[in-house]
Amino acid sequence: MYATSTTTGLLSYNHVGAEFDPVDSFVPQTDVTGYEAYFTKTLNYGSKALLRDIAYTLYANRYHDRYGIPDQAGASAQVNFDFRNLMTVHVYDAPSMVRVADGEYLPFYGNGMELGYRISTTTPTYVQYTGGPYFHGELGGWTYLTTLPVARGIHLTLETDEDAYRTLFRDEPSGTQWLNRATLDWQINRDSAFDVGLRRIHGQTLPNAAILPTFAYVNASNVTLAYHFLTLRNEFYVVYGDPNSLSTTPALFLKWVRYVGAPKGT
């Protein structure tokens, strides 16, 4: 790894065994071995310039399974333009190939751009488009998000997403899925926070790299509640409901993290 105040470079070699299956993981990619390379550079401009900085990032990865068969490969290039008026423009290209559950080696691209305001603050607003070759066709996705101050320490985040999949296969359906989400965050103090999340998903389920698609229609919503508390060497989470579930489930999660050595944030 190489790092300065404006430059970071990283090269890593990774192995994930076939037995890897933690309870709290989200779509784990198992039985893969390969490398990842990452590089980012920021160019800063004068204090009176309209453009505050330009940052570009390059990333690449390549993985294979235990038999040497390609399992995942991807690359990305992103350029961020940050202006003094708190406007931000991101442009990115992210081709990716992944071996799906039935053994096909298929594209899952994420090319697009983002226009944002106050992105690095507690009240960001942005519009984002991502699209490109995807599974057996093309995918185009829009995201609209804004965070509004409600009261001191309380923020409301509103988000809506629309993902449209268009297949090239005759016997496979095309479709669109929508996500609507609202989150109320109360930062009680520097060590504790309380959140309430509401979410609704409706439309056709979309293919992904983890499981074979059913292309079923979904119309579901859920509610989650979460409390977080941090002490010097202990961190506690209390969560009701599963935010990864399509519908609200009577689930209660308790998590305790004990830090050995330096406390969190040092």
Mean pLDDT of 122-140: 97
The per-residue pLDDT for 102 is 86
pLDDT, tens digit, 9 for 90 and up, residues 215-229: 999 999 999 999 999
Which is more confident, 250 or 128?
A: 128
Mean pLDDT of 88-97: 96
Please give the structure tokens belonging to residue 265.
């944030």
Mean pLDDT of 8-27: 81
Which is more confident, 171 or 12?
A: 12
Kindly tell me if the per-residue pLDDT of 211 is higher than 90.
no
Q: Give CA–CA dist 222/201, Å, rounded.
A: 9
Q: Give CA–CA dist 237/5, Å, rounded.
A: 33
The per-residue pLDDT for 229 is 96
**CA–CA distance from 206 to each of 74, 132, 217, 227 (Å)?**
21, 14, 10, 32
Kindly tell me if the per-residue pLDDT of 64 is higher than 70.
yes
Query: Where residue 241 falls among pLDDT bands split at 50, 70, 90?
Result: confident
Q: Are the beta carbons of 224 and 252 closer than 8 angstroms?
A: no
